[in-house]
A and B are shown apart, each in its own frame.
Chain A
Amino acid sequence: MTPPDEGTTRAARDPDGADAALARGGDAAAFERIYRRHAARVHSLARRLVGPGDADDGAQEVFIRVWEKLHLFRGDSAFGTWLHRLAINHLLGRGASLRTRWDREDEREDAHEMLAAPHGAGPGFSMDFENALERLAAGMREVFVLHDVEGYQHDEIARMLGIAEGTSKSQLHRARLILRRHLD
């Protein structure tokens, strides 16, 4: 029996890597396969970081960005890891240039928090966990998603968002307190 050649083996092991190499050469069909494999993850990330209203645009921008940056992928990490990190950076940066301080700091008492599930308001006010997550104030939502969904540590989050580590911790605590009312 003839052993598979090295390229075939590598492609089977990492279809993203093989398709990334083809896409780097201009193969749009290979890039579409990458899109199909990662669309759900990137779109879900976008929905959680920038909100459902902007998720389509955000996810679309991410894939266009990936296409533009394919030449920078060196293969030091799995392609999916590289793509996901690029997606996070892009989505965080998307609103950062216009995000003013009040977005993170003046919303310490967020009205959504008080209005989301008023005591005794009945089941009509309930919302599912994902919906509640998407309605958190931007600062809380970003920290919660990065820490509890994506698994980043507070020191990394502080660097990514340009905030103090203590702020990251307090935002996470507040987000969890709010979201516990919306456990399924």
Chain B
Amino acid sequence: MDSYGDRLTDYLDSALELPARVELEAHVASCAECTQALRELRRVKERAAHLADREPATDLWDGISAHLGGVRRTAPVARRRTFSFSAAQLLAASLALVALSGTGAWLLGRGRAAPVMTAATADSAPVPDASRNANVIPASLPSDRALGITAYESAVADLHRVLDAGRGRLRPQTVRVLEANLTAIDRAISDARRALRDDPASAPFLEGYLQQQMKRKLDLMKRAAAIASGASDD
């Protein structure tokens, strides 16, 4: 399979010259692994070509129409950015982050006999009741933005503890790749923060990017922590 695997996609896309195509077909005919791989790759391609479009969960028209009145189409004026943090977004993000933080604490506290935490269950972790959790939206914080960062850092710290505790359960290669990816994401976060400091005028865009990278890091750590806390990655 190895020597032919890379050519299966070219074959599927009719990008192989005739001699290479004939050779590959002869090999596939006698190789169960390549036959299976080719069948699955073909299904992936077909599946992608027939993906159904879905309406947005919320109607975006109000947000769009709010921008139409003030726009002169021959000389567009600067429009208000749509992806800066709103109070509602921050509230939702903060709740999600607190939920993640709670997930990390749960993972830390549970014993070996507890059910294995899966990605699916981690994704659906219940949001804590804000009225009973003093960490949710404390009125004394200086700004909504500070709340988001604080909750994020708390969640990351929890997940780091879970990962450190369960590091021995991960294969060395997985740890290496995980660390390389986290380093890269950290670098992106650091770059974005520096850019925010140096170019406040681009804040709305940079904040969106920063938020994206933070979420990316949490997703990755959450998945790794689920494995490190009990499941096997081999």
Q: Which residues of A contact B (CB under 8 A)?
A: 24, 28, 31-32, 35-36, 39-41, 43-44, 47-48, 51, 53-57, 59-61, 63-64, 67-71, 95, 98, 100, 102-103, 106-107, 109-112, 114-116, 118-122, 124-127, 129-130, 133, 135, 144, 148-149, 151, 169-170, 172-173, 176-177, 179-180, 183-184
- Known: A98-B209, A115-B224, A118-B227. Contact between A70 and B73, CB under 8 A? yes
**Chain B 45-79 interface 0/1 with A at a Cβ cutoff of 8 Å (1 = within):** 10111011111101011011101110101101001
Q: Is the CB of B51 within 8 A of A53?
A: no
Does chain A have a CB within 8 A of B32? no
Q: Is the CB of B181 within 8 A of A28?
A: no
Chain B positions within 8 Å of A111 at CB level? 174, 177-178, 180-182, 220, 224
Minimal Cβ-Cβ distance residue in B for A53: B215
Chain A positions within 8 Å of B56 at CB level? 39-40, 43, 55-56, 59
**Chain B 200-232 interface 0/1 with A at a Cβ cutoff of 8 Å (1 = within):** 000001101101100100011001100100011
Q: Which residue of A55, A110, A118, A130 contacts B233 across the interface (Cβ within 8 Å)?
A: A118
Does chain A have a CB within 8 A of B114? no
A79 to B212, CA, bound (A): 32
Q: Is the CB of A120 within 8 A of B209?
A: no
* Interface SS majority for chain A: helix
Q: Is the CB of B44 within 8 A of A118?
A: no
What's the interface size class on B, roughly? Answer: 35 or more
- Known: A54-B83, A63-B64, A169-B10. Contact between A44 and B41, CB under 8 A? no
Q: Is the CB of A121 within 8 A of B177?
A: no
Q: How far is the CB of A175 from the nearest CB of chain B, in Å? A: 8
Q: Is the CB of B51 within 8 A of A44?
A: yes
Q: How far is the CB of A150 from the nearest CB of chain B, in Å? A: 9
- Known: A111-B177, A115-B220. Contact between A100 and B191, CB under 8 A? yes
Chain A positions within 8 Å of B215 at CB level? 53
Q: Is the CB of B73 within 8 A of A54?
A: no
Q: Which residue of B61, B116, B232 contacts A124 across the interface (Cβ within 8 Å)?
A: B116
- Known: A43-B54, A56-B58, A148-B45. Contact between A125 and B9, CB under 8 A? no
